[in-house]
Amino acid sequence: MQTRLARNAGFCAGVRRAVKIAEEAAEEGGRWYSLGPLVHNDAVVDRLKEKGIIPINRLEEIQVSEDAGVIIRSHGVPPEIIEQARERGLGIKDATCPLVKRVHEIVASLRGEGYEIVVFGDANHPEVQAIIGWCNHQAQVIASIEEACQLQVVNKLGVVSQTTKDNEEFYAIVKAILPLAKEIRVFNTICSATRKRQQAAREISSGADLILVLGDPKSSNTATLARECQNTGVKTLQIRDASEIPIDCLQEVSTVAITAGASTPDWIIKEVLDRMTEFEEKSQQEPEQEAINEQNISGEEETTDAAVGAAETVDQPISEEEATSEPVAEEEEAVSEPAAEEEAVSESAAEEEAVSESPAKDESGSTEELFAKMEAEMADFETPSRGDIIKGTVIQVQDDEVMVDVGGKSEGIIPLREMSLKDIESCKDLVNVGDEIEVMVVKWDDDGTTLLSKKKVDNQKILNKLEEDFNADSIIEGTVTGTVKGGLLVDVGMTAFLPASHVEDGYVRDLEQYIGRNLQFKIIEFNRNKRRGSQVVISRKELVAEEKRRLKKEFWETVEEGQTRPGRVKRIVDYGAFIDLGGFEGLLHVSEMEHRRVEHPSDILNEGDELDVYILALDRERERVSLSRKKLLKSPWEIAEEKYSEGDIVEGTVVRIAPFGAFVELDPGVDGLVHISQMADYRVEKPEDVVTVNERIKIKIISIDPEQKRIGLSIRQAQEEEEAYEVQQYLDEQEDDEDF
């Protein structure tokens, strides 16, 4: 015999939630009462009683005390009941299923808009009684098309359904009502838990000989499910638990399909499956034992091995000799064997079929394995609530969404916008099929789809880490992404605010220069706020000051006069420039900038320039450092020594005239003297007769003395050489003409 369990069976999300709320209340302590049985299942109610949850019928039954409270079951209650509980000072735990609550909201709103309300359902069912309570008990409840046809014609009609009703029936009712009002608003409030159980039951009923529907006779959804199963034409029995398994019926069937109503707990399903397994094993052992017994009786001379061999070799052909020598009874058995084989073949075909029909069924099809699978599923998965963070495996990735197996009976969807805190083009940029990821439940729909967010989990993780860093006063890293009024925006996993006054340990004029830089910070303010968004304010001020203190200490420990150090121009003043030496600032006086005279420091330096400086003098007591740039540059005379040689004819500018001659500047800082005797090839009375200040002239270098910083120059020799050169050139040209 083969057993199949429906993919969707047992506790629905709403009931599971209600039981969880009740169990948590019991753990909290106090006296808790459920108004009516928490679910329509005596076994569940009894278990809850053991934990201290007492079912009552009316609030008046509760003896009021500080620790007394009432649990509203998943069916919900009319609003006046909640009001009464409040007035009596009772604690309230509302386990009304969110889907039922939605119906309450719909009818309340319809009533407010002046609609007559029709509820398709059982008038005595607590869920329906609660629903009509939410529209001020001004609703008509109908249970059949006949009742629908008797409704009065009205102007405005709103139609809802008890959540556990059948869809087809609801559609038929709506069709019947349509002509009865000028305006009709229809809300299909039937829960998909019921529909899914019905669909899964239909799936496994194909090829089954018997359907067992597990559930309490009082459960409406179980009754609907059983009716649905009966409609498949397969023999259907509704049983409460394992004790009601119809063992006699099982003898005659080869495939049993099992399903369970939304108020049937997992342990009842397990018990039934266990019992079915026991029965299956027993029914397999009995024929084997009978065969062995028969072998022992008929073949006293055969060895035990031979008997076992015969039993194992099912399709061994029987020889004619053997066949004729066997007694008649044996012949009959031999004839019936091929039939048994056929049955075995068809059974395995049915098994394969079942595997493809129902994912809940594994390849062997044994109920034990089936249950192990289901148990693992149940152990791993509790219906997640909004805000829960759960693990899942990516099973499909599209550009705009990712499907995730979150271990339940349905998949969750992450839309692109919920994938990442950063802008991404496609979900494929982030995850692959098979990846295990953490997701947050944003919303669970009654159709079983769960809307998930990876972004929110990432955000929470980042917030948790930042909160930890804030509490521990840790240093964090981030990249400056932009400027805003009053400061900078920094990506620290999320966007943090860096006030302008906390960018450095002093005033910063240009904030733009920080954009794109990766820096270290400390969190100075951390506020989690779900509604307005969490806020993180960061600062570098303290870190910069600390670093400066460290570098300063290191600077004074290592600095010596005469060293050359790299620096950066921090600030320019009229008398010089302050140079940041990486921990300390030194003054580069204007007179130490160049060998020549510098009018203003800004003529040669800009803020931010990097340069090497010479440590000219240190005043450790007053913490002052004098710097020189000039010391590291070649003097004009050193340059002149390299550049000029005696005999060179060069140009220069007359800078000063003296009675004995004229001073001529060859390069800035390098002057030479043209003695009056070297000014012309005739006797010169006064130098002014030959040259004027600022005049550019050609001169010949006749002597160089770098040590004395003296250069002797001659205008006369320069002119003579030039004339000689011109004469020579003239002669050369004439020779060329004659040759020609």
Active site residues: 127
**Which position among 5, 6, 9, 15 is part of the footprint of ligand SF4 (CB under 6 A)?**
15
74 binds ligand SF4 (CB under 6 A): yes
Minimum CB separation of residue 174 from ligand SF4 in Å reads 19
Distance of CA 186 to the CA centre of its chain: 39
157 binds ligand SF4 (CB under 6 A): no
Q: Single out the segment in contact with ligand SF4 by CB under 6 A; choices: 6-14, 459-467, 512-520, 598-606.
A: 6-14
Instruction: Write out the binding residues for ligand SF4, residues 396-435 only, by CB under 6 A.
Output: none
Dihedral Cα 497, 499, 500, 501, nearest 10 deg? -150
Q: Please, which residues have CB within 8 angstroms of residue 340's CB and are 6 or more apart in sequence?
A: none
Supply 607's token pair: 């803020």
Task: Determine the Cα–Cα distance for residues 710 and 35; give it in Å rounded to an integer.
Answer: 116
437 binds ligand SF4 (CB under 6 A): no
What does the per-residue mask of binding to ligand SF4 show for 235-274, with x meaning CB under 6 A?
Answer: ---------------------------x------------
Minimum CB separation of residue 231 from ligand SF4 in Å reads 20
Minimum CB separation of residue 128 from ligand SF4 in Å reads 12
State which residue, 219 or 714, has the beta carbon closest to ligand SF4.
219
**Which position among 162, 164, 264, 367 is part of the footprint of ligand SF4 (CB under 6 A)?**
164
The size of the interface with ligand SF4 (CB under 6 A), counted in residues, is: 15
Minimum CB separation of residue 186 from ligand SF4 in Å reads 18
Query: What are the two backbone dihedrals, phi and then psi, of residue 468, each rounded to the nearest 5 degrees?
Result: -60, -45
Supply 193's token pair: 């838990």
Q: CA angle, 693 as apex, 691 and 699 as ends, to 5°?
A: 50
- Do the beta carbons of residue 692 and residue 662 sit within 8 Å? no
State which residue, 280 or 446, has the beta carbon closest to ligand SF4.
446
**What is the helix (H) or strand (E) element at residue 538, kind and residue range?**
strand 535-539
Q: Please, which residues have CB within 8 angstroms of residue 421's CB and are 6 or more apart in sequence?
A: 455, 458, 459, 462, 493, 494
Question: Phi/psi zone of residue 256: left (φ > 0), alpha (ψ -120 to 50 degrees), beta?
Answer: beta
State which residue, 14 or 687, has the beta carbon closest to ligand SF4.
14
State which residue, 164 or 626, has the beta carbon closest to ligand SF4.
164
Task: Determine the Cα–Cα distance for residues 44 and 166; give it in Å rounded to an integer.
Answer: 25
Adjacent-strand bridge partners of 479: 491, 518
229 binds ligand SF4 (CB under 6 A): no
Q: How far apart are the two ends of the chain, measured CA to CA in Å?
A: 129
Q: At what angle do helices 126-133 and 98-112 cross, to 10 degrees?
A: 40
12 binds ligand SF4 (CB under 6 A): yes
Q: How many CA atoms lie within 13 A of 48 on its CB side?
A: 30
- Do the beta carbons of residue 235 and residue 44 sit within 8 Å? no
Supply 33's token pair: 């009462």
**Which position among 117, 173, 193, 627 is part of the footprint of ligand SF4 (CB under 6 A)?**
193
**Which position among 118, 131, 191, 419 is part of the footprint of ligand SF4 (CB under 6 A)?**
191
Residue number with the shortest CB distance to ligand SF4? 14
Q: Single out the segment in contact with ligand SF4 by CB under 6 A; choices: 188-196, 501-509, 620-628, 666-674.
A: 188-196
14 binds ligand SF4 (CB under 6 A): yes
**Which position among 41, 163, 264, 453 is part of the footprint of ligand SF4 (CB under 6 A)?**
163
**Which position among 8, 34, 41, 194 is part of the footprint of ligand SF4 (CB under 6 A)?**
194
490 binds ligand SF4 (CB under 6 A): no
Where do contacts with ligand SF4 occur on this chain (CB under 6 A)? 12-15, 74, 97, 99-100, 163-164, 191, 193-194, 221, 262
